[in-house]
A and B are shown apart, each in its own frame.
Chain A
Amino acid sequence: MDRLYYTPREVAEILRISDDAVLDLIHRDELPALRVSPRIIRIPVAGFNAWREGRKPRRRRVVIRAASNRIAIGEGESLPEGAQALRR
């Protein structure tokens, strides 16, 4: 299976910079990274490659439009009949 993430240490080795420099990039929100626990940070390989190549997601324009279909959160979850009367 392909690697899905790097550790900060691995990124430091790839970029030939210090661990602290990698953490600084992460803290400045330049390098995409995910904190998976209070002490563990992971850098997604796909995100790292895109960042290294200078590719950035295009910021989308967001609008509000009339709903085209009904969206039910928790749909399919079995709740007692009484719960349905409390919906919304």
Chain B
Amino acid sequence: MIEATTDEILDYLADVIERAERFGATVLPPNDAETVAWERDGDDLFMDLAVHPPVGRRARLVEIVLRERWRAVGSDRWELAEYGYELRHHELAYRRALHRHDVDYFVRTYGVATHEHCEATMGNPVCGHYLANPPCRGALDGFDRLYGVWLTGTKTDCSQLRCLG
């Protein structure tokens, strides 16, 4: 389980944005704002970023979405409870997603907390959920994996993944 203090989690969001921008990508929000925020809802903190790779006029055709929910687990301690990192490559009609959500359901049904989505043709999944191998270590890891898919243009062969159901 990934845990962090409040200071660490503030730095972490700045790290994610900085990494994406170092690669020439545009991050929304903040685009060019001085300040960016974790969104607090009750005892949860949410990250919600969209990253567009630097491909000029076609930038809107590719999007990497980074979402996380961290829950409070004590005084000044947070735990990464859910994540959803997605590449939506409209030019290739390809979708790849790395997910951890509805953990109780997935553990009870499939014996794993995380799963993936892979759509060789976006919107036409052959399998509902694939085994995540290995699970993501956070948004930096998720971003790197999905940015690498876009950068190299090498779509993961969905049929090589293990279908959970």
Are A73 and B151 in touch, CB under 8 angstroms? no
CA distance A5 to B108 in the complex (A): 42
Residues on B with beta carbons closer than 8 Å to the beta carbon of A50: 22, 24
Contact partner, A44, options B24, B109, B154, Cβ 8 Å: B24
How far does the alpha carbon of A67 sit from the alpha carbon of B18 in the complex, in Å? 23
> Across the interface, which residues of A come within 8 angstroms of B6, CB to CB?
64
Q: Within the complex, what minimum Cβ distance (angstroms) separates B9 from chain A?
A: 8
Collect the chain A residues with CB atoms within 8 Å of residue B150's CB: 4
A86 to B84, CA, bound (A): 18
Contact A34 B151 (CB under 8 A): yes
Complex contact B34–A61 (CB within 8 A): yes
- B112 CB to closest chain A CB (Å) equals 14
A36–B11 Cα distance when bound, in Å, is: 25
List B contacts of A34 (CB < 8 A). Answer: 23, 144, 147-148, 151
Q: In this assembly, does A79 line the interface, its C-beta being within 8 Å of a C-beta of chain B? A: yes
Contact B35 A62 (CB under 8 A): yes
Known: A47-B22, A50-B22, A62-B10. A73 touches B54 (CB 8 A): no
Flag if A64 contacts B37 (CB, 8 Å): yes
Q: Does A21 lie at the interface of the complex (its beta carbon under 8 Å from any beta carbon of B)?
A: no
Determine if B40 and A66 form an interchain contact, defined as CB atoms under 8 angstroms apart. Answer: yes
Q: Contact at B13–A57, with CB atoms within 8 Å?
A: no
Partner of B37, one of A5, A65, A71: A65
User: Is the beta-carbon distance between A32 and B99 smaller than 8 angstroms?
Assistant: no
Contact B24 A46 (CB under 8 A): yes
> By the criterion CB–CB under 8 Å, are A62 and B105 in contact?
no
Closest A residue, CB atoms, query B54: A46
Give the distance to chain A from B43, nearest Cβ to Cβ, in Å: 10
In the bound assembly, the distance between CA atoms of A4 and B25 in angstroms comes to: 12
Sample of 30 A–B contacts (CB below 8 Å): A2-B56, A36-B152, A42-B151, A44-B151, A46-B23, A46-B54, A49-B24, A50-B24, A51-B22, A57-B17, A59-B14, A60-B17, A61-B36, A62-B11, A63-B35, A63-B37, A63-B38, A64-B10, A65-B38, A66-B40, A70-B41, A71-B48, A71-B69, A73-B100, A74-B84, A79-B105, A82-B105, A83-B102, A83-B109, A87-B105
Give chain B's interface residues, CB within 8 Å of chain A. Answer: 6, 10-11, 13-14, 17-18, 21-25, 30, 33-41, 45-46, 48, 54-56, 67-69, 82-84, 99-102, 104-105, 108-109, 128, 144, 147-148, 150-154
